[in-house]
Each structure stands twice: as C-alpha cells, then as structure tokens.
Amino acid sequence: MKQKSEFTILERAIQTVDGFSRVFNTLQQQMILRGQSPSTLNNYIRQVASISLHFGQLPELISEEEINEYLTALAQRPDSPSRSQFKHAVYGLRYYFRHVGLSARAVELPSLKKELKLPVILNRSELRELFKAPRLLKHRIILTLVYSAGLRSHETINLKISDIDFERKTIHIRQSKYKKDRVVPLSDYMAKGLRQYLLVEHPQVWLFNGKDPDGSYSSKGLGWVFSEALKKTSIQKDVSIHSLRHSYATHLLEEGLNIVTIKELLGHAHIATTMIYLHVAQCPLMPVHSPLDTLYAQKSWNAPDMK
C-alpha cells in the first residue's frame, strides 16, 4: 500500500476531493477529442488539483478572493519554477471554469503578459563541446540528433527506427504539434552516427528505448541527458534541450537558408513564430542598394543605353 507521500497530486485529489475524479475524466476526454497535447492536460490539471487539495474542494466552490490570494502567493515565490506554476494555474483555472460553464470567472482571473524573451543560442564551439561530453554513445547521438534536425523533445522520443530513411537521407516526424507530419533532411554525419548506434544498441521499434511502459524514452529522461552533459562543459549560458532547436534554426538562417523554408523545417504554424530568430541570427549585412545595380552585374549582359 502506498504511503501518502507516494501518491501523486492527481491521485490525492481524486481520492480526497469530492467530485474531482469526475472532473478529471471529463477534462481528459475533452482534450483527447480536441486533439490537444497530453502535456497540456497534465500541466493544467495538476495545478487545478493542487488548488483543490489546498482548499479541500473544487475550484467553483472557492471564492474569488481566496483564489486570488493563492495565485498571488504563487506568483511572489522567489524560485523560478513558481512562474511556470503560476502561468499553468491561471491557464488551468480558465480552462476549468469554461468547462463547468463559469466563463465569467475565467475572465476575472489575472491576465498574463507575454514575456518577450529572445532564445538563447549555443555557438558552434559550445555545441561541439556539448556533443562530446556524454560518456554513452546513445546520449551523444540523442543530443546531436536534436540539433541536427531541429527536433522538439516529444518528436525525438516518438521517433521510430522506420522513420529514418538512410537512402533518401530523410527523417519523418509524425503527428507532431498541430497534428502535422513533416520530413527533414538527415545529415550525412548524423547518418553515420546513427548506423553505429543501431549496431551497438539494437533498438527494436523506437529509435531510443526507454523505461516508459510502451518502451519509449521519456521527455524527463531527455532533459536529464542534456543537463548531465551540460555539467561536464564550460558553458555558462542558461540553456535547455530546446536550445538545440533554437540553435538549429539560427544557424540555418546565418548560413543563408530562407526563413520560409526554416518555418517548414521547424513545423511552425505561423511565420511570425519563426521570425524571432531574425533577432538573434548574425547574418552578414548587405549595403542598401537598388536591385537594378545587380540586374546587369554580370558582364555577359548588356545594360540598356540610358542616354
């Protein structure tokens, strides 16, 4: 029998808060029907569960003043994770109140200003240092693959061996964000590393075997691989596994690839999302000029007589 400390927040809320089990099942069904990410449900419902446990009842039975006091305390905590918890608590409560038909209470919750932060980019020297840091070949391959193809964490752990086409030099990313497939190039250098990894590790279905019930790797495990490798380097930047995706996009932009193509490679729904990399890319500056000057730049072409 589990001790109280061993129960997750969700398990404790389901067992101790009257009506929470029903609410949890309904929210779960709604997110599946709408095709929303399971991680979205987990982030939202955990915060709703925390609030329900704190007050011992469902959110609609808690006064507006009490909820505001709870959110204020969460926002004022000095540790950085509290900001993320505060954001998920607000979003989770909004989703919850709309689900139970209390849209007015959802509107009354505090607004969240979008933080306009530029992505932190690892330079090429830092990437080389990072990729050689792990002792295990599997971990070196994982980190290098994320950067080489600009992958999100969940895309990496959902890759199957069959998604790697060595002959066509492609990686097929299936049903990612926005329920879209996309195909990205497989680097020759990456293909060589993957072939060596497959010979050594012998994975069966998933490209990276893990400890999840279905045999796949976990996002938490992926983050751990990155953080452990980072500790062995001299890198002082505040980065995460997602910084490899940011670095991929920025380096492609710096190497002259057009931003529309980069948008497709990243699987972004809107070009505005991709344009953030214009602010961090170190692209060579071209002097202001008229395109007419380059139209006749080649000597084989004769400019019209302008007299």
Q: Which of 46, 94, 251, 268 is catalytic?
A: 268
> Is residue 6 pLDDT above 50, yes or no?
no
The yes-or-no answer on residue 22 being catalytic is: no
> Is residue 158 pLDDT above 80, yes or no?
yes
> 124-279 has which fold?
hpI Integrase; Chain A (1.10.443)
> Is residue 123 pLDDT above 90, yes or no?
yes
> Is residue 226 pLDDT above 90, yes or no?
yes
Residue type, 57: Q
Q: Which of 87, 138, 172, 242 is catalytic?
A: 242
Answering whether pTM is above 0.85, one says no
pLDDT tier at 101 (50, 70, 90 boundaries)? confident
Q: Which of 46, 88, 152, 251 is catalytic?
A: 152
Q: Which of 245, 246, 251, 263 is catalytic?
A: 245
Q: Which of 138, 174, 177, 182 is catalytic?
A: 177
180 closest CA partner among 199, 207, 205, 152: 152
Instruction: Give me the pLDDT at residue 306, please.
Output: 47
pLDDT tier at 184 (50, 70, 90 boundaries)? very high
> Is residue 300 pLDDT above 60, yes or no?
no
pLDDT tier at 232 (50, 70, 90 boundaries)? very high
How many angstroms separate the CA atoms of 23 and 4, rounded? 22
Instruction: Give me the pLDDT at residue 8, please.
Output: 85
Instruction: Give me the pLDDT at residue 78, please.
Output: 60
> Is residue 270 pLDDT above 90, yes or no?
no
The yes-or-no answer on residue 88 being catalytic is: no
Give me the residue spans of the domains in the chain.
Answer: 4-108, 124-279
Inter-helix orientation angle 20-33/9-16, to 10°: 130
Burial class (CB in 10 A: 0-12, 13-18, 19+), 145: buried
Residue type, 289: H
Instruction: Give me the pLDDT at residue 43, please.
Output: 79
Instruction: Give me the pLDDT at residue 296, please.
Output: 67
The yes-or-no answer on residue 268 being catalytic is: yes
> Is residue 303 pLDDT above 70, yes or no?
no
Higher pLDDT: 202 or 179? It is 202
Higher pLDDT: 239 or 214? It is 239
Burial class (CB in 10 A: 0-12, 13-18, 19+), 306: exposed
Neighbours of 220 (CB within 10 A): 12
Instruction: Give me the pLDDT at residue 185, please.
Output: 96
The yes-or-no answer on residue 245 being catalytic is: yes
Higher pLDDT: 203 or 80? It is 203
Instruction: Give me the pLDDT at residue 140, please.
Output: 97
How many angstroms separate the CA atoms of 22 and 25, rounded? 5
pLDDT tier at 251 (50, 70, 90 boundaries)? very high
How many angstroms separate the CA atoms of 266 and 252, rounded? 11
Q: Which of 95, 96, 248, 277 is catalytic?
A: 277
